Structure 1
Amino acid sequence: MTGRPDLGGWPVSAVPAAYLTPGTGSFADFLARAEPHLLPGQGTGAAPLPHGTTIVALTCADGVVMAGDRRATMGNLIAQRDIEKVFVADSHSVVGIAGTAGIAVEMVRLFQLELEHYEKIEGVRLSLDGKANRLASMIRGNLGAALQGLAVVPLFAGVEADGIAPGADAGHAGPGGGRIFSYDVAGGRYEEHDYYSVGSGSMFARSALKKRYQASADLASAVRAAVEALYDAADDDSATGGPDLTRRIFPVVVAVTAAGAVRWSDQAVGAVAEAVVAGRMLHPGG
């Protein structure tokens, strides 16, 4: 090999051109040029794959709450009982996944890296709208796999890390500044009012939130409403898992406020879930 060994001992000629070519602040764009086989949805076989549902999100007086059940299904089988579908995206946002589990988890990891990469390259954070748009472009990149039945439909939410600037478009922000974005398989981005749900149990969860949602609710009340909605979804949708008191498996809950995104501990969510189950013992319909 020839070349000047100034890249950690590697000759310049041994480094692929894509690694040395200036580009945008998007890590996904770089990966598409340099290592396209590492993108979500590439190289996926035709065998049945686990699917994950259901995710709910709602705004409240303190920000926004997102919660997801823990079941993944593969046809009529339960593929996994404790899968995680809700993830902290960055310091002030959260993303939940529904659809083909493997591709969805890969997409979330790439999205997390994308946000971190952009901030390091550009020196500024993306706005909440910018983050939502980035995720939309990644979903659009998975359209080929989606047309083969390997769809990913995330739910994204958060608050502005630096607050909403005077005169800026606040969208459909709740009283605590929380905003919720849904997507279709083609990457279409839609901002939702107050609450939303995706996944196979979404219809039942959204109906439950319609009855329980209160814009002025505090964080604890919003978490309780989210867990109640997931319980209702599990009651009518076989692909959604309810609280498993025997195995101590409870929904994943992430709350995003002006102070940042925090995942609630299993103990804290477990206490809420146990209270919900106890209440349903007296009033099964809620």
Structure 2
Amino acid sequence: MGSPSSPRLPDAYLAAGTSSFVDFVGEVAPELLAARHAGGGELEQAHATTIVALSYPGGVVMSGDRRATSGTYIAHREIEKVFEADSTSAIGIAGAAGIGLDLVRLFQLELEHYEKLEGTPLSLEGKANRLARLVRANLPLATQGLAAIPLFCGFDAVTQAARLYSYDVVGGRYEERHFHSIGSGSMFARGSLKNLWHSALTETEAIEVAVASLLDAADDDSATGGVDLVRGIFPVVARIDASGYRRIDDGELATHVGRILALRAEARR
């Protein structure tokens, strides 16, 4: 036993406690979570836009454009909006960029913390429920117009199938069938997905459908970035299947984009 004056970790660090990282931080350092509701900041005024996700037999593809806007000007041309949540799931964000990135990091930590404590990952539905709770915690800022909305998808090891989840600003969680899109260009992207998606898509075809839907959104929505061939800027595209999360590299995307543009050019002749 050390002396009463010897350094000692707070009891919360030594107790069995909860498997929720958010609950742990709320007990040990609540001011860190309070900072999420402080508002302000230049980055939080930037807005991320269109995210799409669609299933194919054996997996799911998620893609997001790279543009962030602030009012009428482009705040960033290469922001990333699609992230690996863990080895079998992905999360994309639309809305207030700074808050969305904060949400993603906190969600990643939440999943990692649970797995370390429990020795097993959460089920896919459990992850979707944890994310709903984080979205709900942002409600005070959302009521001020600083909402960040995620789109979540992954491969369910139990059912051996892909699943997609959308959310509203109050943390409502909704499972989607086949495909979904969020953000300012979602209406145009979803129209494209309705025309291009079918139940027998291959992985390659699913990637091209995701990219094509973003190109369609960018064609009609000024806040959605398309493909910038001059700067070499491509959407972030990831696929998740039984083997895990894989981000599609720009070289592979360039091939897909070239094929899509060639087919569209041929159709206009």
Q: TM-score range by the shorter chain?
A: over 0.9
Pick aligned residue for 2:231 from 247, 253, 276? 247
- CA offset at residue 30 of structure 1? 1.2
- CA–CA separation in structure 2 for the residues paired with 1:215 and 1:266: 26
Q: Deviations over 1:89-108 (max 9, x none)?
A: 10100000001101111111
Bigger proportion of residues as strand: 2
Name the residue aligned to 1:129: 125
Contact 1:37/1:43, CA 8 A, preserved across alignment: no
SS across alignment from 1:215: coil
Contact 2:57/2:201, CA 8 A, preserved across alignment: yes
SS across alignment from 1:153: strand
Name the residue aligned to 2:175: 191
Pick aligned residue for 2:37 from 33, 42, 65? 42
C-alpha RMSD of the superposition: 1.9
- CA–CA separation in structure 2 for the residues paired with 1:156 and 1:192: 10
Residues 263/4 of structure 1: CA separation in 2 closer, same or farther (3 Å cut)? farther
Q: Deviations over 1:86-141 (max 9, x none)?
A: 00110100000001101111111111111111011012210000000000000011
Name the residue aligned to 1:111: 107
- CA–CA separation in structure 1 for the residues paired with 2:174 and 2:168: 9
Residues 61/121 of structure 1: CA separation in 2 closer, same or farther (3 Å cut)? same
Name the residue aligned to 1:99: 95
Gaps of 5+ in 2: none
Contact 2:37/2:140, CA 8 A, preserved across alignment: no
TM-score, reference length from structure 1 = 0.88
Pick aligned residue for 1:79 from 75, 78, 81? 75
Contact 2:188/2:216, CA 8 A, preserved across alignment: yes
Pick aligned residue for 1:214 from 192, 198, 209? 198
- CA offset at residue 196 of structure 1? 0.3
Identity between Structure 1 and Structure 2 (%): 53
Gaps of 5+ in 1: 6-10, 165-169, 171-175
TM-score, reference length from structure 2 = 0.93
Contact 1:245/1:274, CA 8 A, preserved across alignment: no
Does the alignment pair 1:31 with 2:64?
A: no
Contact 1:64/1:255, CA 8 A, preserved across alignment: yes
Q: Deviations over 1:132-177 (max 9, x none)?
A: 00000000111111111110110000012xx22xxxxx5xxxxx61
Name the residue aligned to 1:8: none
- CA offset at residue 3 of structure 1? 2.9
